[in-house]
Amino acid sequence: MIKTLMKQIKEYKLPSILTPLCMIGEVICEMVIPILMAKIVDDGIYGNNMGVIFKTGGLMVVIAILGLLAGLGGAYFGANASAGFAKNLRKAMFDNIQTFSFANIDKFSTSGLVTRLTTDVTNLQNAYMMILRMAMRAPASLVIAMVAAFTISARLSSIYLVAVLFLGSFIFFIMNRATRYFKQVFEKYDELNESVQENVSAIRVVKAYVREDYENDKFKKAAMNIYNMFVKAERNLVFMSPVMSATVYACILLMSWFGAHMIVGGELTTGNLMSLLTYCMSILMNLMMLGMIFVMMTMASASAKRIAEVIEEDTSIKNKENPVKEVKDGSITFEHVEFAYNQTSEEPVLKDINLEIKSGETIGIIGGTGSAKSSLVNLISRLYDVTGGKVMVGGVDVRDYDLETLRDQVSVVLQKNVLFSGSILDNLRWGDKNATEEDCKRACRMACADEFIEKMPNGYNTEIEQGGTNVSGGQRQRLCIARALLKKPKILILDDSTSAVDTSTDAKIRKAFAEEIPGTTKLIIAQRISSVQGCDRIVVMDDGKVNGFGSHEELLKTNDIYREVYESQTGASGDADFDQAG
């Protein structure tokens, strides 16, 4: 994990190294000043030597300025390195997410990915800055101050040793407790983000069901949870400051008491005592800083793990070596195909599917909800990989194709479809970025989308809002079909893509397909028998298995499920569907 993350430092290595160096420079300057101070007091004031005072004073000013510069440099490089690191992390995650297969996305969930890209990266960015600036500075400063103090007077400095041991164990105890709560806070953040995302992206449904109060409560609970955890964690930390102050004052008192005796006895100079008192503050402050770094690191490690998971995730679907770059024709073969979304689940979604579809055929697929129609067609363009058997397109196993080639030739209109923000033309050109306006219009004519587009005030330049919220469900479906047609695919799959389109338009679209793209293999998933009865052959799916495969007439004679649904959809009751038949 550390290695994965370190790799993302990339071009920010130099500032990452300069930051701690600057900080150490600052520490050295800070530590030299008390020594010079002692010299001024002892040699200058007590020795009555103005020359020493001026010279040493001048040196002090120079060193103070150097220290200031080093501190500024540390802050500047630290900010630069950590912001750059965060940028690289986000980019690495985003790039890898683009390669994710549907199965990878199922694993992380969308809201989880968003949290990782935002909150987690910010956490790590802050921690990285802190580590660069403090992880070297605090221990270095602690050690240097200790050594300096001991060289002045080992006997007096043993007071510090006791203080450090006492404060050190106290800080360790408190930080340990606080970390426990801080860790829980991050788990609660996930809950909060989920609540926000789910609510905001589905705000229309929330309103339609008047669930605002419920959602408010849910959010309040998640926010309260975080508040409580933070309060609990901070409650531990409040003891830090008073205990720290008490220790510092105790040290100063003891130092002054024993120091004064030693000065009177001639064992110590006044200047030295002054230096020792300055080191006192430095030693204990840095000890506390170390404690804070420890908390920060444990907090960040949860985020770091979550980020590394995304960067390290290997896409489950990728090209093999020397992939086939040409799809010969639009024939499709399923050979003993078995498929499960989750390898560990016992029951596969698709069981022993055997189908042979000729190039250019129009195939209807029909079956109850959850009978795995979508799962079946998603295997063709390799949105998921089979768990057993194989799917072949143009006589070649789909896993042997170059993914881009395959997906260009197998165009799918997904059941859950979205349009993106941009004009209608922009959206259509997802199918083919070089399509001319004439091409786009032709595709829209086939998909019967031209009628409503031309009625819009800006025609083909009408802006679509994010998610396609400013067009109706049926209009969106027709735009999605047009977008898929622009790919000029060898295989076109429509997954329930005309469910929101009225029956006569539905028929018009099918007629246009038959006339304009006769060579394309068409797979049409539908709930209405009328949508598929004109197809060359129809697959009847039932509970993940093929229950029947043949033309409308054949199925009417041989397939019970098909006949029952046909009769109920055309007969008097008219509203029955596959679920009732099944």
- For binding to Mg ion (CB under 5 A), which residues are involved? 374, 415
For ligand ATP, which residue of 375, 381, 427, 475 counts as binding (CB under 6 A)?
Answer: 375
Query: 215 or 496, CB closer to ligand ATP?
Result: 496
Q: Does 582 bind ligand ATP (CB under 6 A)?
A: no
Considering only 341, 502, 518, 570, the residue that binds ligand ATP (CB under 6 A) is 341
Q: At what angle do helices 50-99 and 121-130 cross, to 10 degrees?
A: 160
* 372 lines the binding site for ligand ATP (CB under 6 A): yes
100: which DSSP letter? -
Write out the H or E segment, with its range, that includes residue 510. Answer: helix 503-516
Cβ closer to ligand ATP: 54 or 341? Answer: 341
**Residue 359 or 415: which CB sits closer to ligand ATP?**
415
Among residues 233, 237, 238, 272, the alpha carbon closest in space to that of 255 is found at 272
By beta-carbon proximity to Mg ion, the closer residue of 70 and 365 is 365
Of 271 and 348, which CB lies nearer to Mg ion in the complex structure? 348
Cβ proximity to Mg ion, 82 vs 531, nearer residue:
531
Question: Among 95, 106, 437, 579, which residue interacts with ligand ATP (rule: CB under 6 A)?
Answer: 106
Q: Based on CB atoms, which residue is closest to Mg ion, 189 or 578?
A: 578
Q: What minimum distance in Å lies between the beta carbon of 496 and ligand ATP?
A: 6
Judge contact between 527 and 580, C-beta under 8 A. no
Q: Rule CB under 6 A: is residue 185 a binding residue for ligand ATP? A: no
Our CB check for ligand ATP shows the closer of 136 and 349 to be 349
Cα distances from 568 to residues 363, 366, 507, 527, 529, in angstroms, run 22, 15, 20, 13, 10
Alpha-carbon distance of 261 to 158, in angstroms, equals 16
Closer CB to ligand ATP, 141 or 371, in the complex: 371
Q: Which residues pair with 494 in a beta bridge?
A: 413, 524
The helix (run of H) or strand (run of E) holding residue 141 is helix 137-152
With CB under 5 to 8 Å by kind, the binding choice for 249 among Mg ion, ligand ATP, none is none
* Min separation Cβ 125 and ligand ATP, Å: 33
- Residue 349 interacts with ligand ATP (CB under 6 A): yes or no: yes
Is residue 307 a contact partner of residue 186, using CB atoms and an 8 Å limit? no
The partner in contact with residue 174, picked from ligand ATP, Mg ion, none with C-beta cut-offs of 5 to 8 angstroms by kind, is none
- Which range binds ligand ATP by CB under 6 A, 177-185, 369-377, 416-424, 546-554? 369-377
HSE-CB at 325 with a 13 A cutoff on CA atoms is: 2
381 lines the binding site for ligand ATP (CB under 6 A):
no
The reply to whether 546 sits near ligand ATP by the rule CB under 6 A is no
Sign of CA dihedral 364, 365, 368, 370: negative
Among 39, 116, 373, 490, binds ligand ATP (CB under 6 A): 373
Binding mask 490-519 for ligand ATP (x = CB under 6 A): ------x-----------------------
Q: Taking the complex as a whole, how short is the minimal distance between the CB of residue 373 and ligand ATP, in angstroms?
A: 4
Residue 531 C-beta: closest distance to ligand ATP, Å: 13
Q: Give the separation between CA 413 and CA 484, rounded to whole angstroms.
A: 6
Q: Are 219 and 195 in contact (CB under 8 A)?
A: yes
**Contact status: 370 vs ligand ATP (CB under 6 A):** yes
Contact partners, residue 552, CB within 8 Å, separation at least 6 = 532, 533, 534, 535, 538
Q: Rounded to the nearest whole angstrom, what is the least distance from the CB of residue 509 to ligand ATP in the complex?
A: 19
518 to 79, 123, 488, 491: CA distances (angstroms): 61, 56, 12, 11
The Cα 212–Cα 218 span in angstroms is: 10
Which residue do the tokens 């890898």 mark?
Answer: 96
Which of Mg ion, ligand ATP, none does residue 349 bind (CB under 5 to 8 Å by kind)? ligand ATP
| CB of 533 closer than 8 Å to CB of 541 | no
In whole angstroms, what is the distance from residue 25 CA to residue 137 CA? 9
Phi, psi of 107 (to 5 degrees): -70, -40
Tokens encoding 574: 């008219």
Q: Is position 374 an interface residue for ligand ATP (rule: CB under 6 A)?
A: yes
Are the beta carbons of 283 and 142 closer than 8 angstroms?
yes
156 binds ligand ATP (CB under 6 A): no
Tell me whether residue 359 or residue 415 sits nearer to Mg ion (CB atom): 415
Smallest CA-to-CA distance from 135 within 81, 183, 66 is with 81
Q: Give the total of residues touching ligand ATP (CB under 6 A).
A: 13
What is the closest distance, in whole angstroms, from the C-beta atom of residue 302 to ligand ATP in the complex?
Answer: 27
Q: Which residues contact 442 (CB under 8 A, 6 or more apart)?
A: none
Residues 402-431 that bind ligand ATP (CB under 6 A): 415
Burial class, 440, CB count within 10 angstroms (exposed 0-12 / middle 13-18 / buried 19+): buried
With a CB cutoff of 8 Å and minimum separation 6, the contacts of 6 are: none
| Cβ-based nearer residue to ligand ATP, 344 or 434 | 344
Supply the minimum distance, in Å, between the C-beta of residue 524 and Mg ion: 13
Smallest gap, in angstroms, from Cβ of residue 341 to ligand ATP?
3
Nearer to ligand ATP, 379 or 447 (CB): 379
Positions that interact with ligand ATP (CB under 6 A) = 106, 341, 349, 367, 369-375, 415, 496
